[in-house]
Chain A
Amino acid sequence: DIQMTQSPSTLSASVGDRLTITCRASQSTSSWLAWYQQKPGKAPKLLIYKASSLESGVPSRFSGSGSGTEFTLTISSLQPDDFATYYCQQYNTYLTFGGGTKVEIK
């Protein structure tokens, strides 16, 4: 199984901050990685697929990068609507999610 480790698990930030969340895979997933945003009581929402491709309708302040075993999700300027939990997901070998990163208001 491919294990996905996200860091940090919690992040305190302010509106306007630049944020970076990291996801590390226990073995290479090539570029087969997605990022999701989840708000309390709601289903996850796809943000990024294939490591760096922006899903249609997702604001351009979200970006993804990386390949192999290390990936990042960056929010260039944090907006009030962005306080949520973020998950990475690999789909190179079956599917595995990371443990999540909760972005809180500082």
Chain B
Amino acid sequence: QLQLQESGPGLVKPSETLSLTCTVSGGSISSYNYYWGWVRQPPGRGLEWIGSIYFTGSTYYNPSLKSRVAISVDKSNNQFSLKLSSETAADTAVYYCARQREEGNYLGNFDYWGQGMLVTVSS
């Protein structure tokens, strides 16, 4: 059974960079036809896609966050990571990592999710 687990600091200071890692177990991050993505959810609000990566390193970012986001993959450790710079209180959210199932050459839907991790931006 595929499992994903987010890790990283739960508190980030304003203007600093958020760094999270997602560890994949029970399957290979180098699988064809699957992307690996990040989704966030501010408290009490809806879901927002941050970006996705393929095991080859190809990345796709939400245009509204593109200038601040970097996603990378570490195939040897079966992990992928998120960096979001210039944090503000508006970035306070539960951050999920998830597997994306490619469909018809499109990024596709999320079929496996991590449990989520609350990251608070505060001084």
How far does the alpha carbon of A32 sit from the alpha carbon of B104 in the complex, in Å? 9
Chain B interface, DSSP helix/strand/loop, else mixed: strand
Asked whether any CB of chain A lies closer than 8 Å to the CB of B115, the reply is yes
Contacts of B26 in A (CB 8 A): none
Contacts of B106 in A (CB 8 A): 32, 91-92
Q: Mark A21-62, 1 if CB is under 8 A from B, else 0.
A: 000000000001010101000111110011000010000000
Q: Mark B95-123, 1 if CB is under 8 A from A, else 0.
A: 01010010110111111011110000000
Count of chain B residues with Cβ under 8 Å from any Cβ of A?
A: 25
How far does the alpha carbon of A42 sit from the alpha carbon of B49 in the complex, in Å? 17
A89 closest partner in B (C-beta): B109
Known contacts A1-B63, A94-B60; decide if A99 and B107 are in contact (CB<8 Å): no
30 A-B pairs within 8 Å (CB atoms) are namely A1-B63, A32-B103, A34-B110, A36-B47, A43-B113, A43-B114, A43-B115, A43-B116, A44-B47, A44-B96, A44-B110, A44-B113, A46-B109, A49-B101, A49-B103, A55-B111, A87-B46, A89-B47, A89-B49, A89-B109, A89-B110, A91-B103, A91-B107, A94-B60, A94-B63, A95-B107, A97-B47, A97-B48, A97-B49, A99-B46
Which B residues fall within an 8 A CB radius of A? 37, 46-49, 52, 60, 62-64, 96, 98, 101, 103-104, 106-111, 113-116
